[in-house]
Structure 1
Amino acid sequence: MELEILQDLKNYFGDDYEEEQESTLLFCIKRSIKSFKNKRNYPSAYPQIMIEKDMDKYYSCLLDLSLYWAIKQGYEFQGSHSENSTNRSWESESEIYSLHNVIPIARIL
């Protein structure tokens, strides 16, 4: 899945993509996957194949999370940024999960 997301990010960035960005993008993808798994809170008894199927179902969320972290490089922990008449503000990671209807997996105790 990581390589598929990486290729989609390269395609998204197009001419703005430079080869030396690959390690940073892979870091952002890894961070997104870990965050997603924490959000879903998979039960320990969940087989890896089910986790992979679930993550594939939410591929667009994982892509958006990876893009979110890639674009925020150098601006982590800022809610907004202004410089030379350029203003940026970011959605929160939680809003990306809400947009894709990602909720934790419920467990019966």
Structure 2
Amino acid sequence: MIDRYVFLAILIALVVTWVPRVLPFVLTKGKSLPPLALKFLRFLPLSIIFALTLSSVVDERVGNFPRFLPIETLALFPTFFVVLKTKNILLAVVVGVAVTAGLRFLSGF
């Protein structure tokens, strides 16, 4: 039988992760946002993708300068090429993973 403490922790984690993702949709349903807010929101997907991409190709350690990971950085070029040509994010992810795996295999990691 599951412990009540663990069950309560899981429920709290569910609420904490679910509310910030769903609440904005609930609050703005049927309402129009000001033009300044819409202009700001247009840049969010690009900013999020850039932050995720940069965090995956840069190795940061306390006390050292950040450095680019060579294999992951090389995999960016074909991935971005696929995104620019096809505008298909799923295909770009598949290409990025495949190129990274191929480069790691060829380099002996």
Give the TM bin, normalised by the shorter chain. 0.3 to 0.5
Q: Tell me: higher relative CO, structure 1 or 2? Use CA pairs within 8 A at least 6 residues apart.
A: 1
After TM superposition, the score normalised by the length of structure 1 is: 0.33
After TM superposition, the score normalised by the length of structure 2 is: 0.33
Q: Which one has the bigger helix percentage? A: 2
Larger Rg: 2
